[in-house]
Amino acid sequence: MQLPVEKIEEQIVEKYNFLENLEAWLLNQGVNETFAQFFKVTISVGVIVILAIIADFVAKRIFLASMARIAKRTETEWDDILVEKKFFHRLAHFAPAIVFYLTIGVALYDYSPKVTVFLQALTKIYMVIAALLVVNSFLDTVNEIYQGLPYAKSRPIKGYLQVIKIILYTFGAIVIIGIIINKNPSSILVGLGASTAILMLVFKDTITGLVASIQLSANDMLKIGDWIEMPSRNLDGTVKDISLTTVKVQNFDNTITTIPPFALINESFKNWRGMEESDGRRIKRSVYIDVKTIKFCTPEMLQKYKRIPSITEYIESLIPSGIDYTDQAMMLSAGMPTNLSIFRFYIETYLKTNPMINQNATLIVRLLQSLEYGIPLEIYCFTEDKRFVQFEKIQSDVLDHIMAALPIFELKVFQRMSSDDIRAIAQGN
């Protein structure tokens, strides 16, 4: 229960009377008045310093050690994080400060009021800074505990906590200014109301970042761990941190790029999260077939293709009877398959039997509009493994197999002539 003001004043007067009696006793012993007063102040300050040291020892050696032991013994994680973020360590700074603030007036009674006021003001400033550090540690603890929750990546709160910190720091600065100029902080706040436009200009990036962070979070546009691509900013990597003023991205070359959140609102970027959450990662590659190598299959070609187990039944169902294979018109009217059509069926069968290809997703092997480079044979499918390295390996293996299989079906990939080709033609080779 708080003591009445009268009782507090009586206790202070009793301490003052003790010091006055000490000074009077020294004067009766023939000690000089100036020395007696100085001796009284020195003893008082010495006692205060000893009390502050004792309070600091109790707070840091006993209180902190006890909290650390309790945190280790408990199964909860939040108290360990409080210890790690030095919450209790910074809280312990109040003990010597409070002792000094409550006793310094007694030591310097009727000796130097201005020094007393100055020292008490410094102590108040110290306690305000300590309070800000305590709150900062607490907010950091809240953020780290929140990061362990399952929905933390999609709903980060670091930006909001930074806004709270800025507000607290601003209020703390106003309190410190009020202590220095000996004015009520509320009157300073009233004066700052007229400076709102200036404050808006000073904190423009902070306010813009806050609005952008809210938009990114509310629309689920970005979260920690997303792979994003932003060519305008030369950015291609994984989001590592989202704060009030910056989004930190680690590129695939291990460089770090930081961009303001509002850039992700004002400019376009690609988020690969949809691919990572889907059934697979898409392969969409084309091989340009040389048109001059496409032809109807001969009996010899069909017999050779029958030896490929995956398409044996298909080839048998295609072989017509009673056809003159030397008559191209008869082969055309009978619907004789081409080497390219059989090759397409083979590649499609190969993909359907490949365990690394997702069979529940779209799978197409198709021909696109012919170009000056030949006819594009496009592979469109999805891999089971969505990881970057594994995906590239699967995609490369599929393309390697296609390139190696083309000569078996008497097909060639279109390729521009090199200088060696031109030299060989000129030499008649």
Q: Which of these three, 213, 238, 265, is where a domain ends?
A: 213
pLDDT for residue 49: 79
Side by side, the strands of the sheet bearing 270-271 are 256-259, 247-251, 235-242, 227-230, 270-271
Based on the structure, what is the number of domains in the chain? 3
Query: What's the burial of 208, exposed, middle or buried (CB within 10 Å: 0-12/13-18/19+)?
Result: middle
Specify the pairing of strand 235-242 against strand 270-271: unpaired
DSSP single-letter state for residue 223? -
pLDDT for residue 348: 93
pLDDT for residue 340: 92
Q: Which of these three, 213, 230, 258, is where a domain ends?
A: 213
Tokens 């004789």 identify what position? 336
Both 270 and 207 in one domain: the answer is no
pLDDT for residue 74: 76
Side by side, the strands of the sheet bearing 364-367 are 281-289, 375-383, 364-367
| Three-class DSSP category at 45 | helix
Both 244 and 203 in one domain: the answer is no
Amino acid letter, residue 230:
M
Q: Which of these three, 213, 248, 268, is where a domain ends?
A: 213
Both 121 and 56 in one domain: the answer is yes
pLDDT for residue 336: 77
In order, the DSSP letters of 346-412 are HHHHHHHT-TTB-TTS--EEEE---BTTBEEEEEEEEES--SHHHHHHHHHHHHHHHHHHGGGGT--
The CA distance from 120 to 100, in Å, is 8
Q: Do 257 and 249 contact (CB within 8 A), yes or no?
A: yes
Both 160 and 23 in one domain: the answer is yes
Both 73 and 207 in one domain: the answer is yes
Both 26 and 81 in one domain: the answer is yes
281, β-bridge pairs: 383
Both 144 and 258 in one domain: the answer is no
Q: Do 258 and 248 contact (CB within 8 A), yes or no?
A: yes
pLDDT for residue 11: 47
Cα angle 5, 6, 7 (rounded to 5 degrees) comes to 95
pLDDT for residue 163: 75
Give which of 239, 235, 204, 233 is closest to 221, Cα–Cα: 239
Task: Provide the residue-wise pLDDT of the chain in tens; the chain has 429 residues.
Answer: 344 334 434 444 455 555 566 656 655 655 555 666 666 667 777 777 787 788 777 777 777 777 777 777 777 777 777 777 777 777 777 788 888 777 776 666 556 667 777 877 888 888 888 888 888 888 888 888 777 777 666 677 777 787 788 788 888 888 888 888 777 777 666 666 656 666 666 667 777 777 777 777 666 778 888 888 888 888 888 888 887 778 889 988 888 888 888 888 888 888 878 776 677 888 999 999 999 899 888 878 888 888 888 888 888 877 666 565 566 666 666 667 889 999 999 999 999 999 999 988 889 999 999 888 889 999 999 998 888 888 899 999 999 999 999 999 999 998 776 666 667 666 765
Specify the pairing of strand 256-259 against strand 247-251: antiparallel
Both 161 and 142 in one domain: the answer is yes
Both 258 and 284 in one domain: the answer is no
Both 102 and 12 in one domain: the answer is yes
Indicate whether 133 belongs to any domain. Answer: yes
C-alpha 122 chain-centroid distance: 39
pLDDT for residue 377: 93
pLDDT for residue 365: 92
Give which of 279, 308, 266, 262 is closest to 401, Cα–Cα: 308
Range of the domain at 174: 5-213
pLDDT for residue 332: 67
